[in-house]
Amino acid sequence: IIAQACAEVGVRVNCSYGITDRHGPEGAARGLAENDRFLREGGRGMVGLHAAFTCSDDTIAAAAQLAADHEVGVHVHVAEGREDTWQRLLEYTRTDWWLVHGVYLPDDHGLFGTIVHNPRSNMNNSVAYAQPQRFLNPVALGTDGIGADMLEEFRIAFVAARASDVTSTPDQVWEWFESGWALMPEARSDVVTWDYEPMDPWRLAYSPGTSPTEVVVDGKTLWANGAPTKVDGDEIRAKSAEAAGRLFERLDSLV
> CATH number of the domain that 8 lies in?
3.20.20.140
Tens digit of pLDDT for each residue in 30-60?
999 999 999 999 999 999 999 999 999 999 9
pLDDT tens-digit profile of 186-242?
999 999 999 999 999 999 999 998 999 999 999 999 999 999 999 999 999 999 999
pLDDT for position 84? 94
Nearest CA to 51 out of 76, 25, 21 is that of 76
Local structure of 230: helix, strand or coil: coil
Expressed as residue numbers, the domain containing 181 is: 2-190
Q: Mean pLDDT across the chain, nearest whole number?
A: 96
Structural domain includes residue 252 = no
CA-CA distances (angstroms) from residue 33 to 29, 37, 51, 72, 164? 6, 6, 18, 15, 43
Please, what sign has the CA dihedral across residues 163, 164, 167, 169?
negative
pLDDT band at residue 164, thresholds of 50, 70 and 90?
confident
In a domain, 200, yes or no: no
* C-beta of residue 12 within 8 angstroms of C-beta of residue 217: yes
Domain-located, residue 35: yes
Instruction: Please report, for residues 180, 195, 231, 234, the alpha-carbon distance to residue 218 in angstroms, rounded to integers and kept in the order given.
Output: 17, 21, 17, 24
Q: How confident is the model at residue 91 (pLDDT cuts 50, 70, 90)?
A: very high
* Residue 109 maps to a domain: yes
| Structural domain contains residue 195 | no
pLDDT at 139: 98
Predicted local distance difference test score (pLDDT) of residue 255: 75
In whole angstroms, give the CA distance from residue 105 to residue 54: 17
Residue 238 CA: distances (Å) to CA of 147, 181, 224, 247, 253: 19, 33, 20, 14, 23
* Preceding amide of 132 cis, omega within 30: no
Residue 108 lies in a domain: yes
Q: Is the pTM of this model over 0.95?
A: no
In a domain, 76, yes or no: yes
What is the three-class DSSP state of 243? helix
Asked whether residue 79 carries a pLDDT value surpassing 80, the answer given is yes
The total number of structural domains that make up the chain: 1
The DSSP letter of residue 204 is: H
- With respect to residue 254, please indicate whether it lies within any of the assigned structural domains: no
